[in-house]
Amino acid sequence: MPRVKAWDAIKAALGSGGSVIAMKGQNVVYNRTVVQMHDCKLCLAAYAGALRSHTSTVLRGNLKTQVHEYVDSKELHAALLGFLDKPELGKPPSILPPLPRHAYAAPPRGS
């Protein structure tokens, strides 16, 4: 699997075993999967269904509305789980690892 600088930067920022964001007794496992959307139509459908957006007003000389798109990982995970019994995917795996969830502005440890 090819190395991706952004993925390596995320893992480095979250620390070994997710020590930066993990609560006491927790451990974070990093999983990376590469899927070609043209090879998996169900994956494309799940991704499209999990796309969300929100707007914010920014001041850049004058007020402008800016649209921010993101993938709702909980919705993506639920959609992919719903596709497990589809014949296009073959036999479902015995264990499906959870999709990562993004954490923003986590409080410092010990607070």
- Can you give the residue ranges of every domain in the chain? 1-34, 36-85
For residues 7-35, give the mean pLDDT.
80
What predicted TM-score, i.e. pTM, was given to this entire model?
Answer: 0.50
pLDDT at 31 over 60: yes
Higher pLDDT, 91 or 66: 66
pLDDT at 76 over 80: yes
pLDDT at 18 over 80: no
pLDDT at 74 over 80: yes
For residues 7-25, give the mean pLDDT.
82
| 29-42: burial string, b at 16+ Cβ within 10 Å, e else | eeeeeeeeeeebee
Which residue in the block uniquely carries the two structure tokens 């402008």? 64
